[in-house]
């Protein structure tokens, strides 16, 4: 099956990124450079590459920043600095700073919400309404199941009273963080949608949780947030499986379809940094007949 072969190739690529020599990984990131000037370097983050190290992680972006700086400039170049992060499975625009001072300035711009972030995601289902804002606080909670784990979830400020259906304010959870996501449906077909997303805040897994639990439209390939009480492969509609030429038993290999499409960064001048989605993402759009010719 072509689809299953592509999924296996992507899993192998993700695994291979962990086996590469750091110099080779730095070269891959250099070849994916989208923009650079005297202050920043903008890369296209590959799928399956973590930003930070951790258990079982041999290679991450942080570890190769000194090598990448030397490849881009010269052997005496100061290591590049992280300004923000993307999840391991998220692809797209990532900004690195050439100096600590510039990194601090950019982090401040992110913190004070002066950076406009635009993501693309393929979701299951179509949000109703097709355009709007999800403004629901979020909190991390332990999930008690056969395999205990932690997930981000919604912590709404309001609930509906069962007796009369009226909206009443609930007591805010102390550790809940404000989370706001603007969304717009760009295309819809075969029980799926292509969504444009603008996270106004920057809470962990915000887009994934707001789509899955707020709008009931989990991201294609998001096996973590397609269920609450268990860790299990995402259940796909029959029409989507047919279009992807995929068996439900193989759905666990489906990658997360979330891409950091654009960053507008007010750094001296307004920088508009755009990144094309990876081949697997574009192939999925084609198979699901999600037409993006106007975008």
Which residues are known to be catalytic? 87
DSSP letters for 248-261: GGGGGGPPP-EEEE
Q: 42 vs 21, 35, 74, CA distance in Å?
A: 22, 5, 18
The distance between the two most distant Cα atoms of the chain, rounded to a whole number of Å, is 71
Other beta carbons less than 10 A from residue 248's beta carbon: 12
Distance CA(41)–CA(7), nearest Å, equals: 30
156 three-class SS:
coil
CA 206 to chain CA centroid, Å, is: 9
Beta-bridge mates of residue 285: none
Other beta carbons less than 10 A from residue 102's beta carbon: 18
């Amino acid at each position: 099956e072509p689809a299953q072969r592509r999924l296996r190739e992507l899993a192998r690529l993700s695994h291979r990124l962990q086996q590469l020599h750091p110099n080779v990984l730095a070269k891959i990131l250099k070849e994916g450079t989208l923009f650079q000037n005297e202050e920043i370097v903008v890369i296209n983050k590959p799928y399956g590459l973590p930003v930070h190290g951790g258990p079982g992680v041999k290679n991450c972006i942080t570890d190769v920043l000194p090598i990448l700086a030397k490849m881009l400039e010269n052997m005496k170049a100061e290591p590049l600095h992280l300004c923000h992060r993307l999840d391991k499975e998220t692809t797209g625009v990532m900004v690195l700073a050439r100096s600590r001072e510039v990194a601090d300035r950019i982090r401040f711009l992110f913190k004070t919400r002066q950076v406009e972030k635009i993501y693309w995601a393929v979701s299951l289902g179509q949000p109703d309404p097709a355009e709007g804002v999800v403004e629901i606080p979020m909190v991390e909670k332990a999930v008690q199941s056969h395999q205990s784990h932690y997930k981000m979830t919604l912590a709404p400020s309001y609930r509906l009273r069962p007796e009369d259906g009226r909206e009443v304010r609930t007591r805010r959870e102390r550790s809940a963080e404000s989370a706001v996501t603007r969304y717009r449906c760009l295309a819809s077909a075969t029980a799926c949608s292509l969504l444009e997303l603008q996270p106004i805040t920057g809470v962990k897994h915000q887009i994934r949780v707001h789509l899955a639990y707020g709008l009931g439209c989990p991201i294609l390939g998001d096996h973590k947030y397609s269920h609450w009480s268990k860790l299990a492969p995402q259940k796909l509609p029959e029409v989507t499986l047919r279009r992807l030429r995929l068996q439900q038993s193989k759905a666990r290999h489906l990658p997360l379809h979330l891409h950091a499409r654009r960053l507008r960064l007010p750094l001296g001048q307004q920088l508009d940094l755009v990144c094309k989605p990876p081949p697997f993402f574009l192939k999925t759009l084609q198979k699901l007949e999600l037409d993006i010719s106007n975008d």
